Amino acid sequence: MTPPARCDSIAPMTRNIGNQRVLDALADTVAPLSPVDLAPHGPPECDPHAASRYVEGAELGRGGLGVVVEAFDQDLRSTVALKRPRSDVMGERAVVELVREAQITAQLDHPNIPAVHALGIDSVGRPFFTMTRLRGRALSQILSERRTDPDTAGEFSTPRLLRIFLQVGFAVAFAHSRGVLHRDLKPQNIIVGEFGEVRLVDWGIAKVIADADAEDDRPALSTSAPHEGTQVGAFVGTPGYAAPEQVRGQADIDGRADVYALGALLYEMLTGRPPVTGPTMAAVVAGTLEGSIPPVHTLVHLDERLAAVVHKALELERGARYADVLAMLADVEALIEGRPVSALHEGAIKRVGRWYLGRSLRVARLKTVHIDCLAWACFVLGASTGMYMMTLDLPWPDLWAWALLVFGILAFIPVAYTLARKPRPEDPGVLHAFTGAPSTRPHHDTLGTAPTVPREPPGE
């Protein structure tokens, strides 16, 4: 294919990385991205209108290689986010990164992943792509405010955070189904809107699973924060969230690396801190490789089933983690619905007790009847005993046997009912436990909530 003529207005400093370089980048990415059908339908042309079409506004953010600005699309009359390489790092690597990110993100057509609208080259030879302009706050900001602001803590309760987590998880699961690993899941890369929108962003270091050798030496995006940004050099990812095999730089990482990152994300959503912390990056990396993660229950009080889900995802050995993201999400959904989770074995007595202490309307009615019946059974036992002691002429053995039978049947009602019935939407669970007026009984709040200031684990 003969590349189109370059624009005369391309600046000399960017001439060597102009339209031809984007064409080369597109050609380089066709083969590795073919498993997810990311092949372009023709090269972008150096069209001055591509730049004049957008009226740029304020800068929205920047990373190690790219900058994102707000722009108004005069053709479609809509506000978009426009991303291009930073002028101080403009080069082949930045162009390849940008084109790959645009292609991968555009292919992942999912409600929780921002849509890409256009990929092109502006009049001065800079490649760019436009995507949905997201409005909201980063999850990292929400979690920070939740630790200190009671209003935010009330607005973003544990059930709502779990619903946010589910949306992020389904976006990751969809990407895995298309052969793409995110590799940089963290609160900073999740945008939460005020109308319930949840978007997983920054696919700049995503890895196409079929392309085992393509990105091993690629630098990752970075930020000014010492421990929060994606690091450059030894591995691709963010210390504290990256899986141990990812930290070691293994080339054979799979979806379980993102499962680990989701576990780290859920850990921070519940406790207010990442699972692995340290004074230096080296300490964080060492803690990740050693599996030095404080148990969740040492930081917050919460349901043991939820703690089991978190720690199963954060297992040091990937074979011990959830097999895939959907398996983890199935446990989270079971938790919300008040059902047992695969990460924790529960006996029948514990399941019955958790169900019987719930606040479902059906359960409340059953408890009322059950307590009344038990009261009558106790009355029969007491009356029989009293009459026997008074040496009344009554058939004592028969009366005692019937009283015991009635007592046993009534006491076993909830056990038999719970084991025989199928789960229903109205069963007690996270959503039921946190709706309506606050409960004064501790067992009603089945998940618990993070305290305003998380406690440090003993000995830390």
- Rounded to 10 degrees, the C-alpha dihedral 171/173/174/178 comes to 130
Residue 122 has pLDDT above 60, yes or no: yes
What burial letters (b/e) apply to 224-245, b meaning 16+ CB within 10 Å? eeebbbbbeeebbbbbbbbbbb
How many angstroms separate the CA atoms of 407 and 400, rounded? 10
Active site residues: 184
Return the pLDDT at 412: 72
The pTM assigned to this predicted structure is: 0.69
Q: Is the separation of the CB atoms in 227 and 273 below 8 Å?
A: no
How many angstroms separate the CA atoms of 269 and 146, rounded? 10
Domains defined along the chain, listed by start: 12-50+86-131 (no CATH), 137-346 (1.10.510.10), 350-444 (no CATH)
Residue 359 has pLDDT above 80, yes or no: no
Confidence at 386, pLDDT banded by 50, 70, 90:
low
Task: Give the highest mean pLDDT range of 237-251, 259-273, 426-440, 441-455.
Answer: 259-273
- Rounded to 10 degrees, the C-alpha dihedral 107/113/117/120 comes to -70
pLDDT digits (tens, 9 = 90+) for 217-270: 433 322 222 333 444 445 788 999 999 999 998 888 999 999 999 999 999 999
Three-class DSSP labels, 5-59:
CCCCCCCHHHHHHCHHHHHHHHHHHHHHHHHHCCCCCCCCCECHHHHHCEEEEEE
Return the pLDDT at 286: 93
pLDDT digits (tens, 9 = 90+) for 282-330: 999 999 999 999 999 899 888 888 999 999 999 999 999 999 999 999 9
Residue 93 has pLDDT above 90, yes or no: no
Return the pLDDT at 459: 45
Q: Read off φ and ψ for residue 427, nearest 5 degrees.
A: -65, 150
Average pLDDT rounded to a whole number, residues 81-91: 84
